Amino acid sequence: MTSTAYAVINLDALQHNLQIVRQYAPNAKIMPVIKANAYGHGMLRVATNLLSSDAFAVARTEEGVLLRKAGITNKITVLGGFNCINELEAILTYQLDTVVHSFTQLNMLEARTELNAFSIWLKLDTGMNRLGFKPIEFTAAYQRLKYCPFIKGPINIMTHFANADDKHDTTTLKQISLFNNTVATFLDEQLLDSERSECSIANSAGILGWPESITDWVRPGIMLYGISPFPDHTGEYWQLKPVMGLYSRLIAVKVIEKGEKVGYSGAWTCTKPTLLGIIGIGYGDGYPRYAKEGTPILVNGLRVPLIGRVSMDMITVDLESQPVAKPGDSVTLWGDSLAIEEIAIYADTIPYTLVCGITQRVQFIEYTKSLTQHEI
């Protein structure tokens, strides 16, 4: 039995999307980004299904610790790095690779006395103005790290895009050349293979849209989950397949008369007798509270419009096009036949927030063609 609202995670689609990353970046090492519970898909589930990856990336130290405790032995990069001694200790204990992005972190590293080797990514800020050293600070940071005796292997170098999902914004090309120019001097000085820095620039938008950004390592996030990083396309355009489908069921069907109002605040008023469907999903499950009237929903595979406000446990739809719909019938909120990118537009948001927002109440079902569907 499933609870009313459930998410199906298509593990074949996940593998397929990894292949698409490989097609775009055939010579790069791949670091799937599985932060924020793998964008709501289940961090351990995604990690254990992508064990062939060269590394994983998470945002926070705790996420890396969780993966290690679950037995994941791949390299793990903590994109946000450590922010206090406890996090630094955890990074050492659990052999995580950390991003170093600030002088505060450098001071903490230099204050260490015991030699417990670990690998790092030095982050250059090429214009995002979030984490990272400015180009003018970069040489100093690099030199100081070189003198930290417990850094294992070469000092790898990374940056992050601010607006790569806009193909018309030349900021991205400026970020790439700033990165290349800044690291060029260091790369030139590295004569031994063992000290050669590896570089990483591209997120999903970089991989799909900016081939100049594909270097030693790529960091795909959203595209692995089958979602387009570019707002003017769906994943299908890039041959990606959605990994998450969100489903529920009709829990009631009723006729309401002209002039009657539906839901909280009576936000929707009936202009003619209407067959109303009530569906067991709401913002308590992660369905977006701000989905507008008219947001498409599939009932028995056919599109019907959302009406009235989204409440915590329920939403309402106009079943005019589906007069025989009945309680128990299946409902798709997004998935294979209804692109999450389209729902995001109706909800004035981006697909990232929709997948990340799925709550604990939603039951997860893993699907692969080889195994029959099983509930977990």
Ligand X SMILES: *Cc1c(COP(=O)(O)O)cnc(C)c1O
Q: Which residues are catalytic?
A: 35, 264
Span near ligand X by CB under 6 A; candidates 8-16, 102-110, 214-222, 244-252: 214-222
Around Cβ 42, how many Cβ atoms within 10 Å? 20
Establish if 221 lies at the interface with ligand X (CB under 6 A): yes
- Is residue 160 within 8 A of residue 130, CB to CB? The reply is yes
Nearest to 203 by CA among 192, 195, 214: 214
Instruction: Show the binding pattern over residues 32-71: x = contacts ligand X (CB under 6 A), - = does not.
Output: -x-x------------------------------------
- Considering CB under 6 A, how many residues would be counted as binding ligand X? 12
Residue bearing tokens 């209804």:
338
Nearer to ligand X, 251 or 356 (CB): 356
The stretch near ligand X (CB under 6 A) out of 20-28, 202-210, 270-278, 312-320 is 202-210
Is residue 28 within 8 A of residue 22, CB to CB? The reply is no
Name beta bridge partners: 247: 6, 332
Q: Which of 14, 222, 317, 350 is in the footprint of ligand X by CB under 6 A?
A: 222
- The C-alpha R_g of the chain, in whole angstroms, comes to 24
204 binds ligand X (CB under 6 A): yes
Smaller CB separation from ligand X, 162 or 365? 162
CA separation for the pair 33, 128 (Å, rounded): 18
**201: number of Cβ within 10 Å:** 28
Evaluate the CA torsion angle 130, 135, 137, 143 in order and state its sign. positive
With respect to ligand X, which residue has the nearer C-beta, 35 or 309? 35
Q: Which stretch binds ligand X (CB under 6 A): 201-209, 238-246, 272-280, 290-298?
A: 201-209
Count CB atoms within 10 A of the CB of residue 303.
Answer: 14
Q: Which two tokens stand for residue 108?
A: 């903490």
Taking the least distance from each CB to ligand X, the nearer of 126 and 322 is: 126
Name the residue whose CB lies closest to ligand X: 221
Query: Does 79 contact ligand X by CB under 6 A?
Result: yes
Q: Which of these ranges, 20-28, 134-142, 172-180, 199-207, lies near ligand X under the rule CB under 6 A?
A: 199-207
Taking the complex as a whole, the smallest distance from the CB of residue 201 to ligand X amounts, in Å, to 9
Q: Which is nearer to ligand X, 98 or 204 (CB)?
A: 204
Residues between 228 and 257 with contacts to ligand X, criterion CB under 6 A? 229
3-state SS assignment for residue 304: strand
CA 119 vs. chain centroid, Å, equals 24
Minimum CB distance to ligand X, residue 308 (Å): 33
Comparing CA positions, the residue from 209, 218, 220, 203 lying closest to residue 38 is 220
CB of 135 to ligand X, least distance (A): 18
Q: How far apart are CA 4 and CA 12, in angstroms?
A: 24
Binding site for ligand X (CB under 6 A): 33, 35, 79, 160, 203-205, 219-222, 229
